[in-house]
């Protein structure tokens, strides 16, 4: 198997919110004890709803928020010991909104050339060659180089965003909801492009999405997050065809695809809404919404335990199938 | 359905005036919704689905205007109705739910009062009676502890709770038609499933017809009996919900159904790659002549470039049930 490209060990990111003057200071446990790894060339799908901590996890891996506890090992070295620029050459990010994440006053050429210059590529001919090459890889034409973001459609802007992420030849790319802001008829183009680039360049991805269909198509392995914790992880087929955590089943049951549903009954749907991460329920965070809830779920947080090779679930009833 | 539909939209044309030029943002849009029937209108951003709903509600604002066609609600031609008459109809006979409940609710008024207002305005109830009925309405949409919640302001509620309040307002006066424009797009997926189930259940219980607008084909097909697909201002296909997925007839619908990353598809097809639709959605300033899908269509021929296809009823189905707008459908 070889060494993982990224290894998270009991990673926690807590924020202090509130004020000492009124109301008191509270701790928001955005990420609370996550252990995960990503191998070179692998795509890890990260699924969860708003407030589950998936974006904070991404920021921590990028080195943009410091961990409260635990370690991030990137490409063999602890993230805290790495230079910022060195980290940026290893891990890059593709953002959800291609309208907000590009500088409106920079041409495509400038957007792609700036990172190269910042990272010490001084030869003008080389910069130009790499920009042209990268544009071709993401399906942009050479004449697009001198245009500004507003001259492009949403799908083309996302291609620029992908080119920017890849121009420094990173080994890991974090894609945060890369297609959810795009028109439905454009999404397949961008997903296929990401899959092609992964094979061609040997990239590893962390694909963050709430769209299970997208995650199933692109992922080798999948991790499901709920209120700061991983509740289930495993190979994509295991997760989608034999989900063991009631929250994973609830996510699958929530997909409105009436004539085409996976083997999950409508009874698996979750009740109510996601509690605030500031004041998560005790024990298993999912218990107030869970159809399998019992006394032990309120008393004890279930550990993430193996149910099959490479497949783990954090549920007291991980062997129940109803 | 019955020969007497609840809502009939016939040849609707909506004009967009921009910089002295007038474009047709929607044209030749025709559909019928029967009493108690759930009907879905699906399409991508800019296809004209939301403005069609706005036209039915009489809420088109400049630069948009109604340029032709008829909108008949229960025998009354409402495209000619006065603003006062439309205000009467909205709320009492047509209920509305919008995408973002935070912007649709009044931030300065407790939610109970906003529900009660419906009974006061449309049913001449007194305020104290109306507040009691608002509490009951909140209970119906399953907001926990409604007696306490009626005093809450919108910002004190979660997104899902706010959308429940919107549903309570929309259904307060038991309208015959509920128009829901992307009602769950701003919500998390597990919350979305609950809200959709709630809407469907309440409408079925009250016999309310639904016009559901969404970009999500699966969501609409799940909820509606019939679905129409819009592309670049025109309805390109309408079929019963199952048939849209099973036997789509228009190349655009076919492309859409095939390109969706549906759960289970990767195992079934043994392939990661999705079948994509080439090209981009045209902008309104540059709609292609002939069939507007022709630059992206695998079946386009000479006639598609020059002649807009007419609406064709599909054989083996009632003409009002299934139709397609394509020279080479099937």
pLDDT tens for each residue of A84-118: 999 999 999 999 888 889 999 999 999 999 999 99
Token pair for residue A10?
């009991």
pLDDT at B2 over 70: no
In whole angstroms, give the CA distance from residue B283 to residue A192.
24
Q: Do B262 and A257 touch (CB under 8 A)?
A: yes
When pLDDT is cut at 50, 70 and 90, the band that residue B1 belongs to is very low
Q: Which residue among B196, B221, B276 sits closest to A189, beta carbon to beta carbon?
A: B276
On whether residue A151 sits in a domain, the answer given is no
Predicted local confidence at residue B267, as pLDDT: 87
| Block residue for tokens 């005093």 | B151
Instruction: Evaluate whether A178 touches A211 at the Cβ level (below 8 Å).
Output: no
How many domains, chain A?
Answer: 1
Chain segment A178-205, per-residue pLDDT in tens: 998 888 889 999 999 999 999 999 999 9
Q: Do B261 and A240 touch (CB under 8 A)?
A: no
Q: What percent of chain B has pLDDT over 90?
A: 78
Instruction: Evaluate whether A107 touches A52 at the Cβ level (below 8 Å).
Output: no
pLDDT at A322 over 80: no
Q: Which residue of B has its CA nearest to A190?
A: B276
Which residue segment(s) compose the domain that A242 sits in?
6-90+170-313
Predicted local confidence at residue A262, as pLDDT: 47
pLDDT at A275 over 90: no
In whole angstroms, give the CA distance from residue B98 to residue A162.
33
Q: At what angle do helices B127-140 and B111-123 cross, to 10 degrees?
A: 120
Flag the least confident range among A253-262, B225-234, B256-265.
A253-262
On whether residue A275 sits in a domain, the answer given is yes
* ipTM attached to this prediction: 0.84
On whether residue A126 sits in a domain, the answer given is no
Q: Do B190 and A254 touch (CB under 8 A)?
A: yes
Q: At what angle do helices B127-140 and B159-171 cross, to 10 degrees?
A: 120
DSSP letter assigned to residue B264: T
On whether residue A158 sits in a domain, the answer given is no
On whether residue A177 sits in a domain, the answer given is yes
Instruction: Output the average pLDDT for chain A.
Output: 92
On whether residue A17 sits in a domain, the answer given is yes
On whether residue A121 sits in a domain, the answer given is no
Predicted local confidence at residue A184, as pLDDT: 87
Q: What is the pTM of this model?
A: 0.89
Instruction: Evaluate whether B172 touches B121 at the Cβ level (below 8 Å).
Output: no
Question: What is the mean pLDDT of the segment spanning B63-91?
Answer: 95
Q: Which residue of A has its CA nearest to B222?
A: A258
Flag the least confident range among B172-176, B213-217, B259-263.
B259-263
Among candidates B171, B203, B173, B176, which has minimal Cα distance to B74?
B176
When pLDDT is cut at 50, 70 and 90, the band that residue A284 belongs to is very high
More confident residue, B100 or B135: B135
Flag the least confident range among A222-231, A311-320, B96-105.
B96-105
On whether residue A141 sits in a domain, the answer given is no
Chain segment A22-33, per-residue pLDDT in tens: 778 889 999 999
Instruction: Give the CATH number of the domain where residue A259 resides.
Output: 3.40.50.300
When pLDDT is cut at 50, 70 and 90, the band that residue A240 belongs to is very high
pLDDT at B262 over 80: yes
Give B-chain residues touching A216 at CB under 8 angstroms.
Answer: 261, 263-266
Q: Which residue among B242, B246, B274 sits closest to A217, beta carbon to beta carbon?
A: B274
Sequence-distant (6+) residues with CB within 8 A of B183 are B97, B98, B99, B163, B166, B195, B196, B199, B212
Question: What is the mean pLDDT of the segment spanning B261-275?
Answer: 88
3-class SS at B313?
Answer: strand
Helices (H), chain B: 49-57, 83-92, 101-104, 111-123, 127-140, 146-149, 159-171, 189-206, 217-223, 241-246, 251-259, 265-269, 302-306
Predicted local confidence at residue A24, as pLDDT: 82
Q: B241 vs chain A: nearest CA distance in angstroms?
A: 9
Q: Which residue of B has its CA nearest to A241?
A: B264
Question: What is the mean pLDDT of the segment spanning B298-308?
Answer: 96
More confident residue, A256 or A1: A256
């Amino acid at each position: 198997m070889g060494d993982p490209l990224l290894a998270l060990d009991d990673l926690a990111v807590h924020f202090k919110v509130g004020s000492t003057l009124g109301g008191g200071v509270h701790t928001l446990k955005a990420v609370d004890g996550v252990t995960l790894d990503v191998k070179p060339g692998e795509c890890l799908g990260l699924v969860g709803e708003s407030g589950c901590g998936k974006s904070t996890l991404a920021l921590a891996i990028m080195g943009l928020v410091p961990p409260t506890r635990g370690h991030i090992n990137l490409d063999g070295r602890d993230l805290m010991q790495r230079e910022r620029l060195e980290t940026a050459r290893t891990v890059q990010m593709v953002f959800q909104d291609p309208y907000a994440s590009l500088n409106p006053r920079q041409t495509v050429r400038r957007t792609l050339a700036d990172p190269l210059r910042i990272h010490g590529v001084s030869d003008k001919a080389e910069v130009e060659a790499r920009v042209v090459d990268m544009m071709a890889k993401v399906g942009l034409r050479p004449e697009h180089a001198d245009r500004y973001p507003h001259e492009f459609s949403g799908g083309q802007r996302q291609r620029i965003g992908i080119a920017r992420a890849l121009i420094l030849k990173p080994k890991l790319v974090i894609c945060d909801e890369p297609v959810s802001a795009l028109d439905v008829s454009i999404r397949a183009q961008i997903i296929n492009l990401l899959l092609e680039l992964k094979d061609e360049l040997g990239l590893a991805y962390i694909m963050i999405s709430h769209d299970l269909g997208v995650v199933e198509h692109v992922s080798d392995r999948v991790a499901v997050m709920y209120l700061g914790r991983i509740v289930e992880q495993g190979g994509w087929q295991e997760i989608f065809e034999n989900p063991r955590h009631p929250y994973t089943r609830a996510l699958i049951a929530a997909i409105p695809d009436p004539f085409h549903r996976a083997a999950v009954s409508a009874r698996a749907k979750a009740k109510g809404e996601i509690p605030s991460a500031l004041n998560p329920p005790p024990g298993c965070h999912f218990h107030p919404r869970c159809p399998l809830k019992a006394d032990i779920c309120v008393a004890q947080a279930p550990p993430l335990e193996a149910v099959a090779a490479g497949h783990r679930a954090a549920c007291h009833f991980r062997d129940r199938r109803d | 359905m019955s020969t007497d539909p609840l809502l009939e939209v016939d040849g609707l044309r909506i004009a967009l005036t921009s910089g002295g030029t007038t474009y047709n943002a929607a044209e030749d849009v025709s559909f019928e919704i029967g009493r108690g029937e759930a009907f879905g209108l699906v399409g991508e951003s800019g296809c004209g689905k939301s403005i069609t709903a706005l036209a039915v509600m009489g809420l088109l604002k400049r630069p948009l205007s109604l340029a032709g066609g008829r909108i008949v609600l229960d025998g009354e031609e409402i495209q000619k109705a006065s603003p006062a008459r439309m205000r009467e109809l909205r709320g009492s006979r047509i209920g509305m739910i919008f995408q973002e409940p935070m912007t649709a609710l009044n931030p300065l008024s407790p939610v109970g009062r906003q529900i009660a207002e419906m009974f006061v305005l449309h049913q001449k109830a007194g305020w104290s009676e109306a507040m009691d009925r608002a509490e009951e309405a909140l209970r119906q949409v399953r907001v926990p502890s409604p007696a306490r919640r009626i005093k809450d302001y919108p910002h004190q509620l979660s997104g899902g709770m706010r959308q429940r309040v919107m549903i309570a307002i929309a259904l307060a006066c038991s309208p015959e038609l509920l128009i829901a424009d992307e009602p769950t797009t701003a919500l998390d997926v597990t919350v979305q499933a609950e809200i959709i189930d709630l809407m469907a259940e309440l409408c079925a219980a009250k016999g309310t017809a639904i016009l559901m607008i969404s970009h999500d084909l699966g969501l609409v097909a799940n909820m509606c009996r019939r679905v129409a697909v819009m592309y670049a201002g025109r309805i390109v296909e309408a079929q019963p919900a199952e048939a849209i997925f099973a036997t789509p007839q228009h190349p655009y619908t076919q492309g859409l159904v095939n390109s969706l990353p549906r759960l289970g598809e990767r195992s079934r097809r043994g392939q990661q790659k999705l079948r994509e639709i080439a090209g981009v959605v045209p902008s309104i300033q540059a709609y292609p002549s002939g069939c507007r899908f022709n630059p992206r269509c695998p079946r386009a021929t000479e006639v598609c470039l020059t002649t807009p296809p007419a609406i064709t009823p599909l054989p083996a189905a009632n003409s009002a049930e299934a139709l397609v707008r394509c020279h080479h459908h099937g």
